[in-house]
Amino acid sequence: MLGETMATGTPTLYVLPGSHPCAAVEVALGLKGVDYRRVDLLPMSQMLIGPLRYGGSTVPGMRLDGERLVGSRAIMRRLDTLVPEPPLLPAPDEPTYAGVLEAERWGDDVFQAVPRRLIDVAFLRRPAAMLSYTGEAKLPLPVGLMRPALPLTARLMAIKNKARDEVAREDLAALPAQLDRVDGWIAEGLLGGEQPNAADLQIGSTIRLLMSIGDVAPLIAQRPAARLTRYFPAMVGEVPPGVLPAEWLPTPARA
Ligand SMILES: N[C@@H](CCC(=O)N[C@@H](CS)C(=O)NCC(=O)O)C(=O)O
């Protein structure tokens, strides 16, 4: 159902299978009861298609009548003006307003890239794992045709995201402190409420993707941060345990 402040048409959301900021926006659309058309893009094709369809080269992107929106935060802001209830941010005069905005910014600018790089490095080692993330996506190519292209796609994605072994090792070393920060925000009440805010969706979608990496999930599972995944449908896709070298992983005590 579309709200009254809505333009007339059904929005179109452009996504990549498995993309966590896309999952965040899809949950927000669902919370607000906005019907939308989803277009599943093939990895890397968004660089060609995105500029034409929604004016950007990353996903999520959205077309809303003539309006073009790029980026999960921009789409979240627009959804709040389109359909104000339930709001994705506290009211500006509430004490948590600035904190939620800052958590959302960090979730987008810093934390979002972590599972992207870790998964890219894992796909370089196990390209076939990429297919598990396609789930029910309506892709323009049958899976059988995609299979031979997986190793090259994995390489291109890793180059695009600057994902290399040493960067993945740094990401894993930094992860416990990042999870402490998320747990701290939950303890403060900025995150983890009954109704998710924009920061819950931004950070929760990243936690959910991180937990699809078999070697990383045990570092998170016992933490409050793991509960942020409850706003989302079950994750489709998995990198099996053992793909990332054991010596890269922080010891559970430090995680
Ligand atoms: N931080 C932005 C960018 C999102 C982003 O980088 N999305 C990835 C997929 S998770 C993407 O489009 N990757 C393809 C590329 O960078 O070419 C947002 O939240 O919208």
pLDDT tens string 34-75: 999 999 998 878 788 889 999 999 999 999 999 999 999 999
The C-alpha atoms of residue 175 and residue 254 are separated, in whole angstroms, by 10
Quick one: average pLDDT of 154-178? 95
The C-alpha atoms of residue 119 and residue 50 are separated, in whole angstroms, by 22
Nearest protein Cα to ligand 1, atom 12: 58
Q: Return the higher-pLDDT residue of 235 and 6.
A: 235
Q: Ligand 1 test: best mutation among 54, 58, 105, most atoms within 8 Å of CB?
A: 58
Give residues with Cβ within 8 angstroms of 18, minimum separation 6: 133, 134, 135, 209, 236, 237
Q: Which atom of ligand 1 is nearest to the CA of 74?
A: 20
Closest CA to 238 of 144, 115, 58: 115
Condensed to tens digits (0 to 9), the pLDDT of residues 168-183 reads 999 999 999 999 999 9
Using CB distances shorter than 6 Å, the residues near ligand 1 are 16, 19-21, 46-47, 57-60, 71-72, 108, 112, 116, 160
Place of tokens 């627009």: 78
What pLDDT band is residue 141 in, cutting at 50, 70 and 90? confident
User: How many Cα neighbours within 13 Å face the side chain of 209?
Assistant: 27
Q: Which atom of ligand 1 is nearest to the CA of 108?
A: 1
What is the 95 CA–ligand 1 centroid distance (Å)? 31
Q: Which atom of ligand 1 is nearest to the CA of 18?
A: 10
Cα 40–206–217 angle (5° rounding)? Answer: 115
Position 145 scores a pLDDT of 83
The C-alpha atoms of residue 19 and residue 75 are separated, in whole angstroms, by 15
Give residues with Cβ within 8 angstroms of 100, minimum separation 6: 89, 90, 190, 191, 197, 198, 199
What is the 22 CA–ligand 1 centroid distance (Å)? 9
Per the CB < 8 A criterion, the answer to whether 167 and 117 are in contact is yes
Q: Which atom of ligand 1 is nearest to the CA of 20?
A: 10
What is the 58 CA–ligand 1 centroid distance (Å)? 4
CA dihedral 13→15→20→25, nearest 10 degrees, is: 0
pTM of the model: 0.94
The C-alpha atoms of residue 210 and residue 215 are separated, in whole angstroms, by 9
The C-alpha atoms of residue 194 and residue 9 are separated, in whole angstroms, by 31
